Amino acid sequence: MENLTTLKIFNNRIEAEVLKSLLESSGIKSWILSDDAGSMYPSQASINGVRLMVRDEDFKIAGALLARSEPA
């Protein structure tokens, strides 16, 4: 089993999916964890947030990609 670390917590799944796409296009596998009943109840995500998870060994490079992708 892989050890995962939370890269960032988002307010909604759409933002998390956008960054997940960026990471995966760079060869970094990532997972989204959200308690929103499989997107049936997106308002639930605002309570606990939507977590974007990466493998521990990818955390540093994923963080660098995240920093470059966010507006200044």
Q: Looking at the chain, how many residues does it have?
A: 72
Backbone phi, then psi, for 42, in 5-degree steps? -60, -25
CATH number for position 56: 3.30.70.1530
Whole-angstrom distance, CA of residue 10 vs CA of residue 65: 16
Give me the number of domains the chain comprises.
Answer: 1
Whether residue 5 contacts residue 54, with contact meaning beta carbons closer than 8 Å, is answered with yes
- Supply the pLDDT for residue 4: 96
- Supply the pLDDT for residue 39: 57
Query: Per-residue pLDDT for 3 more than 70?
Result: yes
Residue pLDDT, tens place only, 5-62: 999 999 888 899 999 999 999 999 999 998 766 556 555 556 678 999 999 999 999 9
Residue 49 domain boundaries:
4-69
Whole-angstrom distance, CA of residue 22 vs CA of residue 28: 9
Residue pLDDT, tens place only, 62-72: 999 989 887 76
